[in-house]
Amino acid sequence: MGNKLLCLGLLTALLGYYIYSPIPEDVAQPGTVMLLSALFRAQGHVSEVAELLGLASYMETLRLFTVFTLVPPTSDENVTVTDTELSNVPVRLYLPRRAPGGLRRAVLFFHGGGWCLDDAGVHDYDHLTRRISNELDAVVVSVNYRLAPPHRFPAQFEDVYSVTKFFLQRQVLAQYGVDPARVCVAGDSAGGNLAAAVAQQLPQDPEVKAKLKAQVLIYPALQALDLKLPSYLDNAEKPLLSRTLMVRFWSEYFSAEPTLREAMASNAHIPAEAGPLLQFVNWSRWLPADVRGAHRYSSPAAGGTEPGRGSPGLLDPRAAPLLGSEARLRGLPPAFVLTCQHDVLRDDGLMYAARLRAAGVPVTHHHATDAFHGAMTFLDGPFELRLAHRLLSTTLGWLRDNL
């Protein structure tokens, strides 16, 4: 009896030790966030073990955890939901049911998941896009672009780009009852990266006549040249995205080469050709003083490393929109940029907001000081966060006024 109690006590202590992680003081519902963070870490550890045992690659296992939460396309009283294809790319389509008062808005939505994970049909994204469709009375096209591995840059970009280009055709917009002057792109995390990249590419395309009304970038990833920005250093172990995992996502997006990930982890992945682009990730120039804090700027060394040179995506604005030239940024549609204080990607968003403004693009920048990466997706279920509702309602408020 005594032994059993002792074992139980030890197990509880071990479990408690595993679950415990420091949560930033100003983050509300710390117990829920801690559990969520432990769940994500546990999935990461299981995936590492599966890879060590040779059962499946790290990303394959991690992806399985998201596949478990897939939900079928289910219509409700307000929105008709279907899985279909546009331009040969699978999409989940949300069409409002109430009688239209005229032509509708449309949102092309790109989900997050580091270009490797998730799906328009996982519970959290299905819930989010359904809310957007219902509350904005908007047609929402949520794109199931190809994922890494096996698919790498530019496959993800090409899929979302080709759906956007297809949808923007006059006869397609007319078929869905969409107002050509009220279409936007939106996405979170890796999806925010894709949304920014699509917004930049469309004006370069002589075949595209329509213009986007807006771009919505929710804690986007925007560059992989400097992976030691203050936000990467300050938030390396914050929920729900660690620096290690973000490095893994970037390297998987670009290459199957494990040396790229190792080089990225130590910020030694920058090829000599990157030299002229380093000005765009110079955070001593683009970050406000209060964010730079006590950090001292030193430019990442452009050393001409092999792994970096083998990954042209690294320098391509379609993969890293922050590297777009000033000429490419000029005239882009008004942007809503959401950043979170406790996020490795915080400074990507801050610098892009600054660069867009410098190029004359109207920017609404919402900085959530008490938020962390991924927070907006927890809108219901056991991990429901009041923070998620607040971030969504801020975003929808902007869209109501600007789309």
Ligand X SMILES: *[C@@H]1O[C@H](CO)[C@@H](O)[C@H](O)[C@H]1NC(C)=O
Under the criterion CB under 6 A, does residue 299 sit at the interface with ligand X?
A: yes
- Residue of 278, 302, 359, 396 interacting with ligand X (CB under 6 A): 278
Three-state SS sequence of the chain: CHHHHHHHHHHHHHHHHHHCCCCCCCCCCHHHHHHHHHHHHHHHHHHHHHHHCCCCCHHHHHHHHHHCCECCCCCCCCEEEEEEEECCEEEEEEEECCCCCCCEEEEEEECCCCCCCCCCCEHHHHHHHHHHHHHHCEEEEEECCCCCCCCCCCHHHHHHHHHHHHHCCHHHHHHCCEEEEEEEEEEECHHHHHHHHHHHHHHHCCCCCCCCCEEEEECCCCCCCCCCCHHHHHCCCCCCCCHHHHHHHHHHHHCCCHHHHHHHHCCCCCCHHHHHHHHHHCHHHHCCHHHHCCCCCCCCCCCCCHHHHCCHHHHCCCCCHHHCCHHHHCCCCCEEEEEEEECCCHHHHHHHHHHHHHCCCCEEEEEEEEEECCHHHCCCCCCCCHHHHHHHHHHHHHHHHHC
- Residue of 26, 76, 237, 326 interacting with ligand X (CB under 6 A): 76
Under the criterion CB under 6 A, does residue 77 sit at the interface with ligand X?
A: yes
Catalytic residue status for 189:
yes
Which one of 133, 189, 231, 311 is the catalytic residue? 189
Q: Which residue has the tokens 């949102």?
A: 107
CB closer to ligand X out of 48 and 76? 76
Under the criterion CB under 6 A, does residue 170 sit at the interface with ligand X?
A: no
Catalytic residue status for 373:
yes
Under the criterion CB under 6 A, does residue 75 sit at the interface with ligand X?
A: no
By rule CB under 6 A, what count of residues binds ligand X? 10
The least CB distance from residue 303 to ligand X, in Å, is 14
CB closer to ligand X out of 191 and 300? 300
Under the criterion CB under 6 A, does residue 78 sit at the interface with ligand X?
A: yes
Catalytic residue status for 37:
no
Site string for ligand X, 223-262 (x = CB under 6 A): ----------------------------------------
Under the criterion CB under 6 A, does residue 284 sit at the interface with ligand X?
A: yes
The least CB distance from residue 76 to ligand X, in Å, is 4
The least CB distance from residue 340 to ligand X, in Å, is 25
Under the criterion CB under 6 A, does residue 47 sit at the interface with ligand X?
A: no
CB closer to ligand X out of 279 and 369? 279
CB closer to ligand X out of 95 and 278? 278
CB closer to ligand X out of 14 and 301? 301
Which one of 126, 159, 343, 348 is the catalytic residue? 343
CB closer to ligand X out of 94 and 145? 94
Under the criterion CB under 6 A, does residue 84 sit at the interface with ligand X?
A: no
Under the criterion CB under 6 A, does residue 57 sit at the interface with ligand X?
A: no
Rounded to the nearest 10 degrees, the angle between the axes of helix 2-19 and helix 30-52 is 100
Site for ligand X in 117-156 (CB under 6 A): 134
Q: State the residues that interact with ligand X by CB under 6 A.
A: 76-78, 134, 278-279, 282, 284-285, 299
Query: Which residues are part of the catalytic machinery?
Result: 189, 343, 373
